[in-house]
Amino acid sequence: MSRFSFCLALLMSLSLLSCDRLAQRGNVGVDPPVAATPEFQPPTPEVPPMAILRAGEFPLWFQFTDDGPTLIETIESARYSAALIPWPHAPHVRFVLAQGEDLLLAVNNEGFVRLAPWPSHGGIGLYHVPGGELWRQYTVGAFVRPAPGADPVALLYLNEWFLEQDVRPPSLRLWSLDASSATPRAAAMPALDAFASEEDWNLDVLRRGGGYWYFRATKRNAVQQEIWMIRTDSLEREGERISLSDFQNAARPEPLSAAPPALREMLAAVFAEIGSNSATVVSPDFQSYRRFATGSEGIPVHAFFSRDGTDGRAFLLATDPEGDALHVEAGDSANPHPVRRFSLPVLPEGFVYTEIGMVDDTVFAAWEEQVGFSIGAAGFMVIRPPELFGGD
């Protein structure tokens, strides 16, 4: 489907909303892309957004379909709309990175989505970078920035659970998201490339911790499965083999004391307010997810940290799976970390929130339908909660 056709479909979908509903929303909606002018150039002039989102106090819901992210009228429209599929083979937001002011999504079996400020129209640009048929066969195992300032890279791997046919590991396992390209670009990482796909090596984990990168390489042979655990201080060179226990220890959450000072204090405020003691954090400061915990892990929260909030103050967004959310920002000596509670839109039974972030003044949250190890409908929504920004 062309970008023009998709934008037209979005607008037609939006027109199905009642006139009363639109009147309540005010100047809110989904617009087709607008051509660049001498006064304003879009963030990526080579690749226009598929749509411009102007969120308000009512959410804009998107569901992943065969045509990519598709606008739906309400979250209730997603109920019973998709078959339950084992999670390795179901479209859903697998990982999120923050880069500058942008949010970048690696969508399982689908490709990339990017949300970026579009200041001339008071909204955010929605960019879709489809991965094509290759992505549909494999699972996204990681989404990282190999080095500060580098383009983010997704790792595809073969998840053999629940597969009935004989499928080999992906011939091209690394794909980068380049803001100037309409398609993912094949990437190279010498540390991982040492385990050649042509020799049936399958790399299913790539994560960072304690100043090192860790990944796992597996290969089936006539006798048994060969498994290597690798650690390297740079993805530009080959690493060293380590023990299973060292690999597992590196996967544990970091202590709260390891977080940057501003984040550490805000997470402590969140844990005290929401009753959790662990968080998975996305931040422009980080090359991948970072997980922090105090003591034994409870129900984790999903969080987004940025140093570039109102008046340049750092802030933290956090939510639990049900959408009980918090906004914490740097304050003054009398109230160093003011906390504001707000609620994400209520989800149907069996649906949960899995990510949170912010682009400009718009809150993003990923959602999915979960039953055991299976996922049904999945997507994301954007909103400007009145508790944070006032009514529209």
- 214-227 pLDDT, tens digit per residue, is 999 999 765 678 89
- Closest to 286 in 3D by CA, of 128, 143, 382, 106: 143
Question: Could you tell me the CA-to-CA distances from 172 to 211, 222, 320 in Å, in that order?
Answer: 27, 24, 35
pLDDT tens per residue, range 73-89: 999 999 888 999 999 99
Query: Nearest 5 degrees, angle CA 387-CA 390-CA 392?
Result: 130
Q: What is the pLDDT of residue 80?
A: 87
Q: Of all helices (H) and strands (E), which one includes residue 159?
A: none
**Stretch 35-55: mean pLDDT, rounded?**
65
Helical residues (DSSP H) of 258-364, grouped into ranges: 261-274
Of 24 and 33, more confident: 33
Of 152 and 224, more confident: 152
Q: In what order do the strands lie in the sheet with 225-232?
A: 202-209, 212-220, 225-232, 240-242
Helix (H, G, I), strand (E, B) or coil at 146: coil
Residue 234 has pLDDT above 90, yes or no: yes
- The first and second tokens of residue 303, run together, are 């969080």
Q: 228 forms bridges with which residues in the sheet?
A: 217
- The first and second tokens of residue 30, run together, are 């989904």
Contact 256, 294 (CB under 8 A): yes
Contact 247, 229 (CB under 8 A): yes
Q: Measured between alpha carbons, how far is 175 from 106 in angstroms, rounded to an integer?
A: 10
Q: What is the pLDDT of residue 266?
A: 93
pLDDT tens per residue, range 157-183: 999 776 666 788 999 999 999 888 888
Q: What is the pLDDT of residue 121?
A: 67
Q: What is the pLDDT of residue 297?
A: 60
Q: In what order do the strands lie in the sheet with 111-118?
A: 29-31, 51-54, 123-130, 111-118, 102-107, 93-99
- Closest to 184 in 3D by CA, of 197, 170, 201, 194: 170
- Residue 141 CB neighbour total at 10 angstroms: 25
- Residue 46 CB neighbour total at 10 angstroms: 10
146-150, 298-302, 388-392 — which is least confidently predicted?
Answer: 388-392
- Residue 262 CB neighbour total at 10 angstroms: 19
- Report yes or no on 159 lying in a domain: no
Q: Measured between alpha carbons, how far is 351 from 369 in angstroms, rounded to an integer?
A: 4
Q: What is the pLDDT of residue 391?
A: 54
**Stretch 42-55: mean pLDDT, rounded?**
76
Q: What is the pLDDT of residue 302?
A: 97
The DSSP output letter for 312 is G
Of 387 and 191, more confident: 191
- Report yes or no on 205 lying in a domain: no
Q: What is the pLDDT of residue 145?
A: 95
Contact 319, 301 (CB under 8 A): yes
Q: What is the pLDDT of residue 128?
A: 95
- Report yes or no on 138 lying in a domain: no
**Stretch 230-248: mean pLDDT, rounded?**
95
Q: What is the pLDDT of residue 6?
A: 38
- Indicate the pTM of the whole model: 0.86
- Cα 186 to the chain's mean position, in Å? 20
Q: What is the pLDDT of residue 296?
A: 67
- Report yes or no on 8 lying in a domain: no
**Stretch 221-242: mean pLDDT, rounded?**
89
pLDDT tens per residue, range 106-137: 999 999 999 999 877 678 999 999 999 999 99
Q: What is the pLDDT of residue 13?
A: 39
Q: Measured between alpha carbons, how far is 207 from 187 in angstroms, rounded to an integer?
A: 17
Q: What is the pLDDT of residue 22?
A: 33
Range of the domain at 356: 254-389
Q: What is the pLDDT of residue 309?
A: 64
Q: What is the pLDDT of residue 156?
A: 96
Query: Nearest 5 degrees, angle CA 252-CA 258-CA 260?
Result: 135
Q: What is the pLDDT of residue 191?
A: 95
- Report yes or no on 368 lying in a domain: yes
pLDDT tens per residue, range 344-355: 999 999 999 999
pLDDT-derived band at 316 (thresholds 50, 70, 90) equals very high
Query: Nearest 5 degrees, angle CA 179-CA 90-CA 378?
Result: 75
Q: Measured between alpha carbons, how far is 242 from 327 in angstroms, rounded to an integer?
A: 40
Residue 313 has pLDDT above 60, yes or no: yes
Question: Could you tell me the CA-to-CA distances from 44 to 47, 119, 232 in Å, in that order?
Answer: 6, 13, 34
**Stretch 234-253: mean pLDDT, rounded?**
94
- Residue 391 CB neighbour total at 10 angstroms: 8
Q: What is the pLDDT of residue 361?
A: 87
Q: What is the pLDDT of residue 195?
A: 94
Q: Number of structural domains, the chain?
A: 1
17-26, 219-228, 322-331, 352-361 — which is least confidently predicted?
Answer: 17-26
Phi, psi (5° rounding) for residue 166? Answer: -85, 110
Q: Measured between alpha carbons, how far is 211 from 232 in angstroms, rounded to an integer?
A: 9
